[in-house]
Amino acid sequence: MEIISRKTAYDGHFKVSLLTIQDGDEQLKRERFEPGTAVAALVWDTQQERYLLTRQYRVGAEAEVLEIAAGMVDGDETPETAIRREVQEELGYDVDRLEQIARIYPSPGANAEVITIFFAEVSNKSGEGGGLVEESEKIESVVLTHEQLVAQQYEDAKTLIAVQWAQLRK
């Protein structure tokens, strides 16, 4: 299979492309959701010996979601730089150490998003957290022990991956 044509169908907060794919003698038309490149981190406070998650309203779920800190890579940022910024914006902590857990396509059938998931160790709360006012973010910090972390019910795939990684690592 080969993409032979790509047109932008929508370019707003996110982007949607219309693709024509050559498959032998057949041409297929497909839409592809292109939200960009994302990062996420399971954050461990080495001083409190607790995990730090976030709770915020997510339009896709139409509800508040308990999840690991996450956001988009801006411009030429590296995933490492982006997740350090996101942890500071959402939780108010400086990152001491990063370890990559996985790089995933959450739904590759029609979605081009790639998410790099990290484990981040923090020890210094240097900001307020809570998200950016200019992005209309209202993020609540949730502090959990390891036992509380693994006992929660999660609906968010990147969080499930990170929590399972933490369970295997313990």
Same domain, 138 and 61: yes
Same domain, 78 and 98: yes
Same domain, 81 and 164: yes
Range of the domain at 26: 2-33
- Total structural domains in the chain? 2
Question: CA 18, CA 153: separation in Å to the nearest integer?
Answer: 36
Tell me the C-alpha to C-alpha distance, in Å, between residue 20 and each of 14, 32, 36, 40, 105: 20, 11, 20, 32, 21
Domain CATH number, residue 156: 3.90.79.10
Same domain, 99 and 24: no
Which position has the token pair 């997740």?
83
- What is the model's pLDDT at position 128? 83
For residue 96, give the amino acid letter: D
Q: Is the pTM of this model over 0.95?
A: no
Q: How many residues are listed for the chain in this entry? A: 170
Same domain, 44 and 6: no
- What is the model's pLDDT at position 129? 84
Tell me the C-alpha to C-alpha distance, in Å, between residue 107 and each of 110, 113, 128, 143: 7, 8, 33, 29
The rounded average pLDDT for each run of 10 residues, N- to C-terminus, in the chain (170 residues) is: 95 93 95 95 98 94 95 96 96 97 94 97 90 77 97 96 94
